[in-house]
């Protein structure tokens, strides 16, 4: 009965979404509708969400587990029940981006800051269970706290390899100013991380 009620709530959400599909497009959505959408998605679970330009359609709605790998099956269930809606595509995690390796961050007083990560380097360590540790070499985060560094790393990994891959496969993240001799020989530019990661996962 609980599962049926859950599906009923999800179907009611998609019915509402379909009714408001035009007004929910990124160029049209109002603050009031953002608030309503947020409330309705949170009624489905402890999820985060994002609306952006789609990969195959004009618009994309992402209902994300918000960094909690255990919620991936739940967001997947919500998206599987999504109807076909013209000009919309849906994803249950934040997919990788075709991007310029620049992050827009907001500091106190809502001051916008651009962080360029194109010069970052990395080393991947693969384990027998198919998971990875990653070490980033960067010098533009020296003034950031450990918590801020991890938040930025999560955003970078979501952007490069996608949220699902980041949650399922990356177990430990470390930052260094310089690689040791062994790691330096294994290091690569962050610009090839997606290709490198995809190749390693195929081997597993």
In the chain, what are the domain boundaries? 2-91, 102-203
- Residues 54-78 have pLDDT tens digits of 999 999 999 999 999 999 999 999 9
Identify the residue with better confidence: 39 or 202. Answer: 39
Nearest by Cα to 119 from 141, 134, 97, 98: 141
Residue 158: the pLDDT is 95
Tokens 């269930």 -> residue: 77
**121 pLDDT higher than 90:** yes
Instruction: Extract long-range pairs of 138-142: CB within 8 Å, 24+ residues apart.
Output: 138/175, 139/177, 140/115, 140/116, 141/175, 142/177
Local confidence band at 107 (pLDDT 50, 70, 90 cut-offs): low
């Amino acid at each position: 009965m609980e599962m049926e009620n859950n599906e009923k709530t999800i179907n009611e959400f998609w019915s509402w979404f379909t009714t408001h599909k035009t007004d929910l497009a990124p160029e049209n959505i109002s603050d009031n509708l953002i608030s309503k959408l947020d409330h309705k998605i949170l009624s489905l679970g402890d999820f985060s969400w994002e609306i952006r330009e789609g990969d195959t359609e004009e618009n994309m709605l992402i209902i994300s587990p918000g960094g909690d790998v255990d919620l991936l099956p739940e967001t997947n269930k919500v998206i599987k029940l999504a109807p076909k809606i013209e000009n919309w595509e849906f994803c249950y995690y934040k997919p990788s981006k075709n991007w310029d390796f620049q992050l827009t961050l907001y500091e106190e007083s809502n001051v916008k800051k651009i962080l360029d990560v194109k010069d970052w380097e990395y080393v991947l360590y693969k384990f027998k269970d198919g998971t990875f540790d990653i070490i980033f070499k960067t010098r533009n985060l020296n003034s950031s706290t450990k918590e801020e560094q991890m938040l930025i790393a999560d955003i970078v990994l979501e952007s490069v390899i996608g949220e699902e891959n980041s949650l399922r496969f990356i177990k430990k993240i470390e930052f260094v100013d310089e690689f040791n001799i062994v790691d330096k020989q294994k290091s690569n530019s962050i610009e090839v991380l997606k290709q490198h990661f995809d190749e390693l996962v195929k081997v597993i």
